[in-house]
Structure 1
Amino acid sequence: MKYFWEDFTVIDFMGMFIPGALFVLVTENAPFPFWELCVGFFGADNDLALAVYFVILSYLLGTFFIECSKGLERCLCQDLVGARYAQSAAYDAGSQAKKWFCSLESPPRFSDIKVAVHGRGAYRKRMLFSGFYELCRTLLVAIPASIVVRLIGGYDICILTLPTVHAPCINVILYLGILYIILRRMRRFLKYTVEYTYGDYHTLCCSGSPTENSSHAASSSETEGP
């Protein structure tokens, strides 16, 4: 139960609440009057109700964004997860965990590996990297969505107000630069998450008893590739 609540707070706060809250704050009145709807229902003096409303709305929007962003992993991180792990040049070729994993005749799926090492090894570190990865991945959807919504509402989307005719182009470049940096950090955090997960799985299998090792080998032979 302790590890469940750690998963819940890290992933939910970083991957769902923060992107959802960003969208609510940035798109206020453009074109969805979140604040007016809440004030009209609860009243302007009910701070607790407004806070609860903000948290719930941010979480719901963040849940929508994180679902929409799942395809980004398949499109932008194919070389970091799944069957690509053993062949990927992104990981250290001299890693003992990678060498051991490549030697398996029928490697287990990454999802099965995460279940096997749940709560073990560098669990807190893995969850932190996973939380930052989810945050970056969801922001890649939440930021463009915020820009589109503000454009629909006819609101300014400029980061910098510059007295030049090239100001729109400069702001577009800034947005693209921000998204590119977030993408790079997303890949980096996912890489760390995968490395620590496979490392803990290697430690678990190689340091366990013969009975445990044989059971892991049996389960690996019954599963498909990662």
Structure 2
Amino acid sequence: MAYILNIETATKNCSVSLAHNGTTILCQEIAEQGYSHAEKLHVFIENILQESGIHLKDLNAIAVSKGPGSYTGLRIGVSAAKGLCYALQIPLIAVDTLAVLAAAVSQNDGWVIPMIDARRMEVYSAVFDSNKKKIQEVQAEILTSESYASVTDTVYLVGDCQEKCKTVLTRENFVFLPEIVFPSAQHMSAMSYGKYQQQLFEDVAYFEPFYLKDFMLTK
């Protein structure tokens, strides 16, 4: 029996869920234009534990979305997760952000390509088959009209860059799901529990988010 707290802050969505044996019990989240993760994350954690009647000492592990995504968002989520793990002496679990986004897709008759917006026509993407098994690793790519041109299967595209994707990915087999914009902690539960069962834990002291690209400071 395992209670796992899931934290997802890789995008504009600040999301926290509590899961029991891989099933989400409660989830609290908010997606705002201005990142409010620093203000909201610990409040959400406290609210969920209070509402569920579960105490910090009852948690068996903390899971965090590892990226790619927002540099600041990832730092906030990972810092909170590491702090809780260290204080409670429980394992840290890292979950692929794009896999979390893909897990929100209920369709199972085609490929799933989750994308997180970067700059201009660049996105962070990965490719999953109909069983949500990753068949192409995470990459930073520039989208053009030739992107995924060789794919004949139905392709479900999700993420926060769908509007700009529509301007170049225009073939009939591309299906956009506008209701799935940001990764959510409620879709982390099964993945984090699977890793918990396999004891696939991170080193709390040395774990870093997967930024994919170096942080760039702009004026």
Specify the TM-score bucket, using the shorter chain as the normaliser.
under 0.3
Larger Rg: 1
- Greater share of strand: 2
State the structure with bigger RCO (CA 8 A, min sep 6), 1 or 2.
Answer: 1
TM-score by length of 2: 0.26
TM-score by length of 1: 0.26
